[in-house]
Amino acid sequence: MIAKINGNRALALARDVLEIEADAVRAVRDRIDESFVAAIDLLLSCRGRVVVSGIGKSGHVARKLAATLASTGTPAFFVHPAEASHGDLGMIAADDVFIALSNSGESEELVAILPLVKRIGAKLIAMTGRPESSLARLADVHLNAGVEKEACPLNLAPTASTTAALALGDALAVAVLDARGFGADDFARSHPGGALGRRLLTYVRDVMRTGDQLPKVPTAATVRDALFQLTAKRMGMTAIVDDHDRVAGIFTDGDLRRVLERTGDFRELPIADVMTRSPRAIGADRLAVEAVELMERHRINQMLVIDEAGKLIGALNMHDLFSKKVI
């Protein structure tokens, strides 16, 4: 049998699901109390690792929480409760904090191992939808992630409850991240691969052009000299520097267009008469994404790189940033 789509019904149902799940998250937000702070204290004082566990849909949420904690400065890993009963309890030590997720708070696999976790000496944080459940009673700290109803029309499939638990887990991870003073550089070290790593780990010095690739002319140069640099170095600009290599100005394609509007032979014009003075510049130790932000904000395609004394040490072009996949 091929199901037929009723567009209006599908849209109405989607809106209902989103509304129910949004209400569930708001309810958890309004319910947060000192137990949340107690959970943060346990995680911050943990001398071992954070072990996160759950089964079924709660297991998926638990895996995500463990991954989020691990990537934001809190060593954490997931343990399947059924596997824990068959040897993986050996991965848990007295200095650890164990986070157990179960909407009912009565998941057999979890309830069976928690007395052993407690006996090992690990602290226990439970995240359930029932404060009176076995799991909640065993916990050192209980976080209430209960929901009024599931978003499933049958009120059976875990939907709103998993969303609430996921959001509460994120709140826990972010609060711990903030308390640790975990910053962008720390995040970059945990995410060296992919676009995120490139954005957070690439510095201006890694992208800038230097040496023979760097277009520059002295302040005594002419427009002819500047044109040669524009053509040869293909950066759409040339820097103008004094006798000590300090930046005096910049001459760009835009400046050239303005010069072309003049009558007569412009080639022998002193470059100092037509250059843009006090150009935008950046230091080599700044993040490349900061250079991108400055270039986009000021609507420029090139930027000079200078040292603390104002000396020219490099230059950036928007195409270089594209090629390095910073953008």
pLDDT in tens, 309-322: 999 999 998 887 77
- Give the per-residue pLDDT at 292: 85
Q: Sorting pLDDT into bands at 50, 70 and 90, what band is 233?
A: confident
- Give the per-residue pLDDT at 125: 97
Q: 188 in a domain, yes or no?
A: no
Weakest-pLDDT range from 8-22, 129-143, 249-263: 249-263
| CATH number of the structural domain spanning residue 250 | 3.10.580.10
Q: Sorting pLDDT into bands at 50, 70 and 90, what band is 1?
A: low
- Give the per-residue pLDDT at 235: 86
Q: 141 in a domain, yes or no?
A: yes
- Give the per-residue pLDDT at 200: 62
| CATH number of the structural domain spanning residue 50 | 3.40.50.10490
Instruction: Give yes or no: residues 250 and 291 share one domain.
Output: yes
- Give the per-residue pLDDT at 187: 61
- Give the per-residue pLDDT at 143: 97
- Going by the DSSP 8-state scheme, the letter that residue 211 receives in this structure is G
Report whether pLDDT(272) > 70: yes
Q: Sorting pLDDT into bands at 50, 70 and 90, what band is 132?
A: very high
Average pLDDT over residues 211-239: 90
Angle between helices 253-260 and 223-233 (to 10 degrees): 140
Q: 7 in a domain, yes or no?
A: no
Enumerate residues 6+ apart whose C-beta is below 8 A from 208: 284, 305, 313, 314, 315, 316, 320
Average pLDDT over residues 137-160: 90
Instruction: Give yes or no: residues 20 and 159 share one domain.
Output: yes
Instruction: Give yes or no: residues 162 and 214 share one domain.
Output: no
Instruction: Give yes or no: residues 246 and 162 share one domain.
Output: no
| Per-residue burial over 288-304, b = 16 or more CB atoms within 10 Å of its CB, e = otherwise | bbebbebbeeeebbbbb
Work out how many domains the chain is built from and give that number. Answer: 2
Average pLDDT over residues 52-71: 93
307 phi, psi to nearest 5 deg: -95, -170
- Give the per-residue pLDDT at 185: 61
Average pLDDT over residues 87-105: 91
Tokens of 223: 């427009």
The whole-chain average pLDDT of the chain stands at 88
Instruction: Give yes or no: residues 208 and 151 share one domain.
Output: no
The residue among 200 and 80 whose pLDDT is bigger is 80
Instruction: Give yes or no: residues 151 and 223 share one domain.
Output: no
Report whether pLDDT(190) > 70: no
Among residues of the chain, what percentage have pLDDT more than 70?
91
CA–CA dist 260, 223 (Å, integer):
11
- Give the per-residue pLDDT at 2: 63
Q: 198 in a domain, yes or no?
A: no
Range of the domain at 139: 16-181
* Last residue of one domain, picked from the residues 131, 149, 181: 181
Enumerate residues 6+ apart whose C-beta is below 8 A from 112: 81, 85
Average pLDDT over residues 223-238: 88
- Give the per-residue pLDDT at 180: 86
Report whether pLDDT(262) > 80: no
Q: 8 in a domain, yes or no?
A: no
Tokens of 195: 């676009």
Tokens of 127: 């995240």
Report whether pLDDT(196) > 70: no
- Give the per-residue pLDDT at 288: 84
- Give the per-residue pLDDT at 126: 96
Average pLDDT over residues 159-163: 94
CA–CA dist 104, 54 (Å, integer):
11
Report whether pLDDT(101) > 90: yes
Q: Sorting pLDDT into bands at 50, 70 and 90, what band is 250?
A: very high
- Give the per-residue pLDDT at 236: 85
Average pLDDT over residues 16-42: 95
Q: Sorting pLDDT into bands at 50, 70 and 90, what band is 157?
A: confident
Instruction: Give yes or no: residues 77 and 138 share one domain.
Output: yes
Enumerate residues 6+ apart whose C-beta is below 8 A from 276: 249, 250, 251, 252, 255
- Give the per-residue pLDDT at 188: 59
Enumerate residues 6+ apart whose C-beta is below 8 A from 219: 240, 241, 242, 248, 249, 271, 272
